[in-house]
Amino acid sequence: MTQRRVAIQRPIEGQKSLDIELAIHSYSNGVIVVNYPGITGNIDGYNNKYGKLADLIQEKGIGTVVRMGNEDFPNLPYPKGMIDNFRYVLDYCLSNGRELSGKRDPKLYLMGFSAGSSVIAAVSGDYLAVEKILLMAPSGDVGQDAVERGLAKFRGEVYVAVGADDEVVGAHAGKIFYDLAVAAKLRKLEVVPSCDHQFRGERNGRIMSKAPLWAFANDRTFPSPNGGIKLYD
């Protein structure tokens, strides 16, 4: 599938502007799916897993996918820098909706992994355009207060997926985020058996590939690996 790369510049007070690289997988239906990896996560991910996920989302006609990395920039405060980078990309998507999605006022679907999920939980309630969020292996990097405030305001759909054997955040993290989504019009939680934090192994990779189809396209077979694509061995 086709993609293009662009770099946008985020102004930072007292510092040189920060270049944020984006990979854009275009589709013209008025929906933009924004993907945010875990902290230090590369824009493409291990074995290009995020590129493959974006191609699948594009192929299924869910919407345009905008991918970004989540590098740890030493000159930016943590986690504020991570949050501000994501907000800047969301603002860019909304300001360029027609070019990116074919409609001036696009719908936003957000998907994240680990710290990326944490950021999404914190900011999604501030954007009326955000209709659905997918939180995979969500962590507490942005702080519990920020997550609580964010999810308390979010009125869209919330989907949470976490491994039963997650050794980083623990399977209980999924239930915590699910429970905090008190204003959501729909919320779903899936705990994936025999799955660690990174969704390692071919089977779990196939399950991970189906998570956005579950959240954004009403796939009812998740978390079965059947029909998923191979992300890695």
pLDDT tens, 166-187?
Answer: 999 999 999 999 999 999 999 9
Q: Which two tokens stand for residue 200?
A: 């390692």
Query: CA 102 to CA 91: how far, in whole Å?
Result: 16
Say what percent of the chain tops pLDDT 90: 97
Helix (H, G, I), strand (E, B) or coil at 233: coil
Query: CA 129 to CA 5: how far, in whole Å?
Result: 24
Contact between residue 85 and residue 43 where contact means Cβ atoms under 8 Å apart: no
Query: CA 50 to CA 55: how far, in whole Å?
Result: 9
Question: Per-residue pLDDT averaged across 24-40, rounded?
Answer: 98
The answer on pLDDT for 153 being more than 90 is yes
Question: Per-residue pLDDT averaged across 208-222, rounded?
Answer: 98
As a whole number of angstroms, the longest Cα–Cα distance in the chain is 51
pLDDT at residue 2, rounded to an integer: 85
74 falls in which pLDDT band (50, 70, 90)? confident
pLDDT at residue 169, rounded to an integer: 98
Partners of 70 in the β-ladder: 41
Burial class (CB in 10 A: 0-12, 13-18, 19+), 183: middle
Prediction pTM value: 0.98
Question: Per-residue pLDDT averaged across 111-131, rounded?
Answer: 99
Helix (H, G, I), strand (E, B) or coil at 196: coil
195 falls in which pLDDT band (50, 70, 90)? very high
Domain 26-217 has CATH 3.30.70.270: no
Give domain limits for the chain: 26-217
- DSSP at 79: T
Question: Per-residue pLDDT averaged across 129-156, rounded?
Answer: 98
Question: Per-residue pLDDT averaged across 96-120, rounded?
Answer: 98
pLDDT at residue 72, rounded to an integer: 87
